[in-house]
Amino acid sequence: MAAAVVTPIVTVSSTHAPKAIGPYSHAIKAGETVYLSGQIPLDPNSMMLVSSDFKAQANQVFTNIQWVAEDMGSKLNQIAKLTIYLTDIANMPVLNEVMMQYFNAPYPARTTIQVSALPKLAQIEIDAILIL
């Protein structure tokens, strides 16, 4: 019987995105797949929400995700799947508008879920799966 092949797991820490606000890594790389932890709209310098405006929050979240991807030598166009958490699903049209500024067709697969609350009273959180 052949020996099992073990895929090494590598922790990714971004030098540009906001610091983690809990016991988690910015991302975990397993083989050619990278799992990005959820990002909320924190300014990396102040560690505060960028604004109470949803559009500003959505832009910051995509920027934070972009920084994590770039810090590992990748780009947003290699994201295969997004999971987006909104505190108000009525913000979906604005979310779509902002997302189209960061992605071109073909867009990543996406699930959008309304939740009752997010950390630090953010209105949006996004996690992602990236394929290298």
pLDDT tens sequence across 38-75? 999 999 999 999 999 999 999 999 999 999 999 988 99
pLDDT at 28 over 90: yes
- What's the rounded Cα separation, in Å, for the pair 58 and 132? 24
* pLDDT, mean of residues 98-123: 98
Number of domains in the chain: 1
* Structural domain harbouring 83: 9-131
Q: Pick from 74, 17, 15: which is nearest to 41 by CA?
A: 17
> Is residue 49 situated within a structural domain?
yes
For residue 54, the number of C-alpha atoms closer than 13 Å in the C-beta half-sphere is: 17
Structural domain contains residue 3: no
Q: Is residue 122 part of a domain?
A: yes
Does residue 104 surpass a pLDDT of 90?
yes
Pairing mode, strands 79-86 and 124-131: antiparallel
- Please tell me the predicted confidence (pLDDT) of residue 73: 87
Helix axis angle for 54-71 and 92-102, nearest 10°, is 30
Helix, strand, coil percent content, the chain, rounded in steps of 5: 30, 30, 40
pLDDT at 55: 99
The reply to whether 4 falls in a domain is no
- Report in angstroms the alpha-carbon separations of 69 from 79, 88, 129: 9, 27, 10
93, 51 contact by CB (below 8 A): no
Predicted local confidence at residue 1, as pLDDT: 67
Residue 2 within any structural domain of the chain = no
112 lies in some domain: yes
pTM of the model: 0.94
